[in-house]
Amino acid sequence: MVNTKHVKNSGYISLSFRGEILTGIKFLTFDCYGTLIDWKSGIESNFTKFFLKSSVEKAKVGNIIFEKYVSLEASEESNYKPYTQVLEETALKLALSFGLESFDGEAPKRFAASIKEWIPFPDKRQTLSEMGSRGLKRIILSNIDKDLLKDTLRNGRIEVDGFITAQDVGSYKPEKNHWISFFEKFGAKREETLHVAGSIYHDIIPANELGLKTVWVNRYQEKKPANVNSTYTIRGLADLLGILDSLK
């Protein structure tokens, strides 16, 4: 058993792991928003830009935009509809929940369109490129529409080998259709797949239920539920390189 508890790489520190050796891994599946793209900053900055028109409104909302948005969005995804619609309706419900009234009627659409420009995390490019050079297939499994994801990948210069979207499978994670479609489309086996994601709810729990090895990328220093495990817990994608290096 290899101890990587204190592996360091590019300023990140591996937090914990279950001690499983990652042998035979051929596919890395990634969530996109919150893992490769800074979902939290994108939501907060663009909601502020399009909905908060005064310092009084900003003070009224405070620092709970992300927390409330995530909760509202999950309820919007219980039945499938295009993610553009999910973005618009979630942002509008969030604004109304804060009692906001002065925003422009086009604000929900502008918020939804902004996702294509949300900023990638700085470690994504080097890590994804290195994973590709090692012969690993990099596949995104994302709760989004295909056109929005394609624009995000292009604008963020994100290099992957394929993707499965909510539009492709007609449902949103934590439903397991993304993974089922991935296994069928790419001919992957569960024991060959490592799932890498920032969301416990959308990704780590269902991936665990499918028997996959998992990497929780704890970008936002969240507290992990006591009853949820991941094979590894890391602070950023650079740690993924350190883990795989240590297991050679």
Average pLDDT, integer, range 190-198: 95
Q: CATH topology for 39-117?
A: DNA polymerase; domain 1 (1.10.150)
Whole-model pTM: value is: 0.88
**Looking at residue 119, what is its pLDDT?**
96
Spatial contact of 206 and 227, defined as CB atoms under 8 Å apart: no
The pLDDT assigned to 28 comes to 95
> Do 31 and 140 form a contact (C-beta atoms < 8 A)?
yes
Cis peptide leading into residue 174 (ω within 30°): yes
Task: Tell me if residue 123 is catalytic.
Answer: no
Average pLDDT, the chain: 88
The proportion of the chain whose per-residue pLDDT surpasses 90, expressed as a percent, equals 75
pLDDT of residue 14: 35
Share of the chain above pLDDT 70, in %: 89
Contact 168, 146 (CB under 8 A): yes
- CA dist 97 and 100 (Å) reads 8
User: For 103-161, how does the pLDDT look when each residue is reduced to its tens digit (9 = 90+)?
Assistant: 999 999 999 999 999 999 999 888 999 999 989 999 999 999 999 999 999 999 999 99
Closest by Cα among 145, 138, 89 to 115: 145
Tokens encoding 188:
């992957």
pLDDT at residue 7, rounded to an integer: 35
The mean per-residue pLDDT over the stretch 192-209 comes to: 96
Which of 123, 115, 101, 102 lies closest to 43, judged by CA?
115
**What is the per-residue pLDDT for 102?**
85
Annotated active-site residue in 31, 38, 145, 203: 31
As annotated, the residues of the chain forming the CATH 1.10.150 domain(s) are: 39-117
- In the chain, CATH 3.40.50.1000 covers 8-37+119-246
**What number is the average pLDDT over the span 228-238?**
91
Two structure tokens written together for 49: 């830009």
What pLDDT does 3 receive? Answer: 32
User: What is 8-37+119-246's CATH topology?
Assistant: Rossmann fold (3.40.50)
Rounded Cα gap, residues 84 and 108, in angstroms? 10
Model pLDDT, residue 160: 96
3-state secondary structure of 191: helix
Using the predicted structure, report yes or no on whether residue 18 has a pLDDT greater than 60. Answer: no
Query: Which pairs from 122-129 meet CB under 8 Å and 24+ separation?
Result: 123/10, 123/12, 123/236, 123/237, 123/238, 124/36, 124/156, 124/158, 124/237, 125/157, 125/158, 125/159, 126/10, 126/238, 127/237, 127/238, 127/240, 127/241, 128/36, 128/158, 128/159, 128/160, 128/237, 129/159
